[in-house]
Structure 1
């Protein structure tokens, strides 16, 4: 008789994290019961991560699985491999340089053992600086990933989408999702950064019930070299096209006007920030890039640019109106 399927798959893509991997694994294994599996993908890491993974597998053969890729293919391919390999009822992506807070997994299990468990659980996190172990700012001791009621099971998908986009924390490691809700065709885009932004909003469209736990469940390690801190021209392009087509996906539902506004506002903020970053690079192709960004903004937002400008005026958000209008005019001069 085979072993029962795990109730939870914790999925970890591994690349150049030798210094952090053991602490991450210990923070999980120290509280995981026999129904939790840890699946690692060694993305051809050139450091000692592979040796650590083999040692973990030998020490915990019933809980730890290691998949080794012959060549480095990037975090999106690693995450897609993990999706295909997962056997648990619920999925939780965790980055192997982060830490799980004590007591989280038993608390999660209690929530999922309720008569009507949610399809999606959202948790909060704290950020700490690599080296000092301390938060850079007081507000980083507790960062909310959702704006809306906490500890209440909800089936309001509009409220889910609004709360996600208002919080702006669209990463997978603060979300635990029922595996049956993850469509086979929804995968992280290979070779691109901001892959989380391309996937999580689309996953939200599949969710019928959710629960936000306004507690710190994960400690996020801040290291030099983050995507937002080191934006090249190519990375800014990835940022702008991550949500391309999402407006049309919302129109297919449809959703409430306030949901359209919150998503359009998020897209506009991304557009303005991307334009500023791209101009700051100071190369001759910036004007053409801004024109592309304006097209991508229009393809991502559920509201046309002019409709969003009118919505800003109606809501008295004059600064947002002025910023968006300025960059639209600069991107598409007459």
Structure 2
């Protein structure tokens, strides 16, 4: 009989160099590793990840190693494979290159077992090789109970991501929730919104749960035309999936934040040309108009300028503003590139490295 209190699901693809550290963070949990069911779902890696998992699973009976029949190209398929094997009453998600803080599982489990909330949430920090903690997220939010749909404005900013949360297994299984394998971006947002349709309250603590490894060359940080196409498709799928009136409240907020933040990203992405940007704006324009009607307030200068164009309900004006902003951004990038390629900048490289230690 399985005695695990929490199942931790980790989708894996070619993450061999990170797995030892990820595994160590689970072994060092203050709740005790024996109380954890680690379900590691390999997406047909070819770098030795699967073999490493098999090796350590022979020494630990609470490690389940699964493997897809072929590489799926995303996290949804391996996560779904793992969800079918969950036996513990609570579920958490941990990416293969991230780590949990030692008290992470215990802190969230205490909330879930001592209250009747449907979701426990914490904070996270970014990390890289140079600095363990580059930035903390959500540590300054109101700590305590959140009525999901009554406190939408305060809860939404901390509703992401999934790796800071503990879910109730019975809700996932009863409602047959899973990750959409057709989505490359936003599949975790869709899963969250669907889950939150079936719970009333959540609890947030200002404690670091997960250390998120930032890799600038990872696919999740590759911003190009394909990224914007995938994101638009994700929003469309989320719209089609969330039919419940409560869930639409989250959809409204999701579109507000996503649409305008990515418009700013569009202006600042060197790989996107002005012509490509205008095509993307034309695709996104109905969503931009929608968010204005729902009272979105732009907080940064670029968003404010674009919002003024959207207010005029004029696609041509919006494209014009984008073109002018893009020109200014490109000019600034050219100046920065001149500085970075200069002899003085290269000579000062050693000093900068010493100062960053």
TM-score band by shorter chain is 0.7 to 0.9
Give, in angstroms, the shift of residue 125 of structure 1: 1.1
Partner of 2:202: 210
Work out whether 1:110 is the aligned partner of 2:110: yes
Tell me how far 1:319 sits from its aligned partner.
Answer: 7.2
* Aligned counterpart, 1:288: 279
Give the drift of 1:205: 2.6
| Residues 11 and 43, structure 2, Cα contact 8 Å, conserved in 1 | yes
**TM-score of the pair, normalised by structure 2:** 0.74
1:123 is aligned to 2:106: no
Distance 1:283 1:318 in 2: 19
Distance in 1 separating the partners of 2:203 and 2:112: 11
Three-state SS of the structure 1 residue aligned to 2:39 is strand
Instruction: Determine which structure has the larger helix proportion and give its number.
Output: 2
Name the CA shift for 1:194/1:273 in 2 (closer, same or farther; >3 Å): farther
- In 2: Cα distance, 1:37 partner to 1:45 partner: 22
**Equivalent residues in 2 for 1:18-33 (5 A)?**
18-31=16-29, 32-33=32-33
Residues matched between the structures, number: 311
3-state secondary structure, aligned to 1:253: helix
The reply on whether 1:143 has 2:126 as its aligned counterpart is no
CA distance in 1: counterparts of 2:99 and 2:265, whole angstroms: 31
Indicate if the aligned counterparts of 1:271 and 1:294 stay in contact, CA closer than 8 A: no
Q: Which runs of 5+ in 1 are unaligned?
A: 299-303
For structure 2, the residue ranges without an aligned partner over 5 or more in a row are: 318-357
SS of equivalent to 1:85: coil
Contact between 2:44 and 2:67, CA under 8 Å: does it hold in 1?
Answer: yes
Aligned runs of 1:308-323 on 2, under 5 Å?
Answer: 308=294, 312=297, 320-323=303-306
Residue 222 (structure 2) pairs with residue 230 (structure 1): yes
Per the alignment, do residues 276 and 328 of structure 1 end up closer, same or farther by CA in structure 2, a change over 3 Å counting?
A: farther
Output one character per residue of 1:182-221: Cα deviation in whole Å (capped at 9) or x when no partner: 3315423335233223332333333212110110121111
Using the alignment, how far apart are the partners of 2:38 and 2:251 within structure 1? 37
In the TM superposition, what whole-angstrom CA distance separates every residue of 1:25-47 from its partner, at most 9, and x where no partner exists? 11112323433200011111110
Structure 1 pair 227–157 and aligned structure 2 pair: CA distance change class (3 A): farther
Q: 1:279 to 1:198 in 2, by over 3 A?
A: farther
Aligned-partner Cα distance in 2 for 1:162–1:78? 33
Greater mean alpha carbon deviation, residues 187-196 or residues 92-101: 187-196
